[in-house]
Chain A
Amino acid sequence: DTGVSQDPRHKITKRGQNVTFRCDPISEHNRLYWYRQTLGQGPEFLTYFQNEAQLEKSRLLSDRFSAERPKGSFSTLEIQRTEQGDSAMYLCASSLGTGGEQYFGPGTRLTVT
Chain B
Amino acid sequence: GIQVEQSPPDLILQEGANSTLRCNFSDSVNNLQWFHQNPWGQLINLFYIPSGTKQNGRLSATTVATERYSLLYISSSQTTDSGVYFCAVVGNDYKLSFGAGTTVTVRA
Residues of A at the B interface (CB closer than 8 Å) are 31, 33, 35, 37, 40-45, 48, 55-56, 89, 91, 93, 98-104, 106-107, 109
Contact = CB atoms under 8 A, between A and B. Distances in A.
Contacts of A55: 94
Interface in B7-41: 30-31, 33, 35, 40-41
B25 to A, nearest CB: 13
Interface in B64-108: 86, 88, 90, 93-101
A37 B99 CA distance: 12
Given A33-B95, A56-B94, 6 more contacts: A37-B41, A40-B100, A42-B86, A42-B100, A99-B94, A107-B42
A41 B4 CA distance: 12
Interface of B: 4, 30-31, 33, 35, 40-43, 45, 48, 50, 86, 88, 90, 93-101
B98 A43 contact: yes
B96 A102 contact: yes
Given A33-B95, A48-B94, A103 B45 contact: yes
B1 to A, nearest CB: 9
A18 B99 CA distance: 31
11 contacts: A33-B96, A43-B43, A45-B95, A98-B94, A101-B33, A101-B48, A102-B96, A103-B45, A106-B41, A106-B42, A109-B41
B41 A107 contact: yes
A99 B31 contact: yes
